[in-house]
Amino acid sequence: MRIKQTLIRFCLLGAAMLILPSAAQAQLVLTTNNGTISIVSNSCVSGNFMVPSATNSYPITSIGDNAFFGCASLGGITIPDSVTNLGAVVFEGCPSLTNVTIGNGVASIETNTFAECNNLTSVTIGNGVTSIGAEAFILCESLGGITIPDNVTNIGPSVFANCRGLTNAIIGNGVTSIGQFAFQACYGLTNVTIGDSVTSIGVDAFVSCTSLTSIILPNSVTNLGGGAFDNCVNLTNVILNSNITNIEDGTFAECLGLTRITIPSNVTSLGQAAFLNSTNLSSVYFAGNAPTVGSITFSNDVNVIAYYLPGTTGWSAFATNAGVRTMMWTPVIQASGPNFGVQNNQFGFNLTGSNNFTVIVETCTNPASPVWIPLQTVTLTNGSFYFSDPQWTNYPARFYGLGLP
């Protein structure tokens, strides 16, 4: 039976047989269509409100655009599994909203759905959500942590921009794309876990995340947008995967805490200003041939030395174009002499190479099929370092090698 679409206004919804929490005062605007009910604009509730799954025997399946926009007294919202559509700007500008639970029926969180909810601290995203639209949580300044479940495949532009209280973000393994400016100016963000399915990180995705200290890009990431980590001033540890081929303009500009980075062998170009004003950067280790480089890629990075491996090419042109010093990576293990072998029940040896060069001493137990395990990161002060291993007696055989940081 088709039900004619009507506009129904209920005060306390008693006439609709809708049961609300006793503390809630509500004035909802509903429409009916084809046996389902939608909550539409100009609806308002107060306190913690649980949207019912049905009223008058008809399921509530949709919360339309602007439905609760600017509701000053809404404290919490629970959306049932019956709701499949959650519109744009639904809860934007609800200053008292502190907690949100999104049911498993909702397929997407649309543009600006929770924008400028300044006191929102807790969000639970249902297992049905596959997409989070642009600016969905922009300026939610009290949001402390977020977990993106594995069913989400897309995080849109500026989704968490200016969430200044956000400290922790876990991005599920289903996400393939992180949009531009997604975490812009999340000043408190110290930890972000990027899932193994992410292939693209958008332009300026983490720009000005000034508390972020470490980033590890999984092997799935092939596209790293320009300015992705621009002005992450406390970023000290960056691990790039071997599938990245380009580092775009401004990607690590003004990363003042960055002192060293390893560039994988497949990288063929470094964009303009890629490391602009990263003034403490001193050691850039290249695992392959020299990439093309811009004239201001390392602008104002006066201490940079580009270290390259024997047998790789293009370094004279690289030094000229980039305006930085280059040096062959030549550290070696001295496998003879009085300091080689067991000393004070520890196996030790001298390392020699370029002055102040940093290297990782690694070990494995089977050189025919090695799994190298880092033991110690050392710096060759004055061109040498004595390494000793107190654990060598715990293994029937132990082999040593050197790796890039």
Assigned domain for 259 exists: no
Number of folded domains that form the chain: 1
The predicted pLDDT at position 404 comes to 78
What is the pairing mode between strands 26-33 and 7-11? Answer: antiparallel
- For residues 362-387, give the mean pLDDT: 91
pLDDT at 17 over 50: no
- 160-198 in b/e form (b: 16+ CB < 10 A) is bbbbebbbebebbbbbebbbbbbbbbbbbbeebebbebb
| Residue 2: Cβ within 10 Å count | 8
Assigned domain for 399 exists: yes
pLDDT at 68 over 60: yes
> Who contacts 104 (Cβ-Cβ below 8 Å, separation ≥6)?
81, 126, 127, 128
Assigned domain for 278 exists: no
Question: Residue 360 pairs with which residues in a beta bridge?
Answer: 377, 403
20-43 pLDDT, tens digit per residue, is: 333 344 567 889 888 899 999 878
| Residue 106: Cβ within 10 Å count | 25
Give the pLDDT band of residue 122 (cuts 50, 70, 90): very high
Q: Is 200 helix (H, G, I), strand (E, B) or coil?
A: strand
Assigned domain for 374 exists: yes
Backbone angles phi, psi at 154, to 5 degrees: -140, 130
Assigned domain for 398 exists: yes
Give the pLDDT band of residue 160 (cuts 50, 70, 90): very high
Give the pLDDT band of residue 18 (cuts 50, 70, 90): very low
Taking the C-alpha atoms of residue 110 and residue 113, their distance in angstroms, rounded to an integer, is 6
The predicted pLDDT at position 9 comes to 37
Structural domain boundaries, residue 398: 332-403
Assigned domain for 357 exists: yes
Least confident of 13-22, 151-160, 273-282, 322-331: 13-22
Q: Measure CA 49 to chain center.
A: 32
292-315 pLDDT, tens digit per residue, is: 999 999 999 999 999 998 899 999
The predicted pLDDT at position 26 comes to 55
pLDDT at 275 over 50: yes
Dihedral angle, C-alpha 133, 138, 143, 148, nearest 10 ° = 20
Assigned domain for 322 exists: no
Backbone angles phi, psi at 357, to 5 degrees: -75, 140
Mean per-residue pLDDT of the chain: 90
Assigned domain for 387 exists: yes
State the amino acid at position 222 in one-letter form.
T
Give the pLDDT band of residue 96 (cuts 50, 70, 90): very high
Q: What is the pTM of this model?
A: 0.84
